[in-house]
Chains A and B, each alone.
Chain A
């Protein structure tokens, strides 16, 4: 069963096309990583799915309903980012209490345990928390609400490495016990990739790739060798990235599918895997080459 279906979803913000004819669907009980560069449209997409923002055109359904201002979608989904606003007069424990009244699947015991584990104090105020502590507190709400659709927008912003690790582990453990549909957006694909079943890569508001995580990891292959040979070999092939390394050597990233890799090896070129995180960066590069070209 599909929890989310988008067909030609478009969002205009003034003259800017934030989402451009986006079509995809997301199956129930899967964890999807939403990946894209700054300004690719990740937040816009998540806010539309959560029903906070209205689409300009195209179709979008969540639990077979149009999400905008829909109470059913609102109760069964949660959108978490680092800018959640809470009343400045409420304490942290009062905020959790209010959240538990709204979300029917709220797990009070889990929220209290996480609250204590991360050493929050009942009488602390939300606006006094640091950036990382805010993210950690929001994460407690995101997990304990157990919403059928859990949307986490850059959930680890500001968290230190230890808290991030704990967060991903907590998220996975609760997901195993209580399966739900999750979308996580992040700049740190490498640290969450083990958790993901699928990846949705968007660029300029358009879908670039939507595929299982394992396939993304094997999507590209790095080839290093003498510049002449590499240049000749990559001719007429699907090249994703090229960079000169050292003297008379070139590193190229190609789409792995259907490549005669054995032959490349025999020619003396070195083959290396390309991490999921790197392939996403190369694929969404606006220019050929990279930052080094600025300094040429």
Chain B
């Protein structure tokens, strides 16, 4: 689950893993998230790295701290994550695709058609 290939820092991967837990509903509003020590044990990483991942989410108002009790999921968490991923991750992926298309001289229509086909196929998969 955690990869050490160096392309994404471990603490970002931890933050993203918790985000996904929230998105798929494994962690709900006002629920307590794993402590830095639990995360360290789960992923065999330094607890300071895990704490950095948790703090990243606190800074973005995805988690809030109850003094002495730990970190909990905010009411807005899910929406914040969705907005953020749309604007950064999804947009970034599309930018990469656009760049590649440019290098390969793929026309706009062709690219859009490819995207539509992929979306259609992936919908078929979930059924």
Contact = CB atoms under 8 A, between A and B. Distances in A.
Interface of A: 30-31, 168-169, 172-173, 176, 190, 193-197, 212-214, 217-218, 273-276
B7 interface: yes
Interface pairs A-B: 8 shortest CB-CB: A275-B6, A197-B48, A273-B6, A194-B45, A197-B46, A273-B7, A176-B37, A214-B9
A194 B7 contact: no
Nearest to B36: A176
Contacts of A172: 40-41, 44-46
B102 to A, nearest CB: 10
Given A172-B41, A197-B49, 9 more contacts: A31-B46, A176-B37, A194-B4, A195-B44, A195-B45, A213-B49, A217-B9, A218-B9, A273-B7
B104 to A, nearest CB: 14
B11 interface: yes
Contacts of A196: 46
Given A173-B41, A195-B46, A214 B6 contact: no
A30 B51 CA distance: 13
A124 B102 CA distance: 67
Contacts of A218: 9
B11 to A, nearest CB: 6
Contacts of B118: none
B14 to A, nearest CB: 11
A176 B40 contact: yes
Contacts of A194: 2, 4, 10, 43-46, 49
B54 to A, nearest CB: 14
A217 B7 CA distance: 9
Contacts of A276: 6
Nearest to B48: A197
Contacts of A213: 46, 49
A212 B41 CA distance: 20
Given A172-B40, A176-B40, A214-B11, A274 B6 contact: yes
Contacts of B46: 31, 172, 194-197, 213
B52 interface: yes
Contacts of A190: 4
Interface in B86-116: none
Contacts of B11: 214
A214 B47 contact: no
A172 B45 CA distance: 8
11 contacts: A30-B48, A172-B45, A173-B41, A176-B47, A190-B4, A194-B4, A194-B43, A195-B44, A214-B9, A217-B6, A274-B6
B44 A168 contact: yes
Contacts of B48: 30, 197, 212
A275 B47 CA distance: 21
Nearest to A278: B6
Interface in B1-42: 2, 4-7, 9-11, 37, 40-41
Contact of B52 (A168, A176, A214, A273): A214
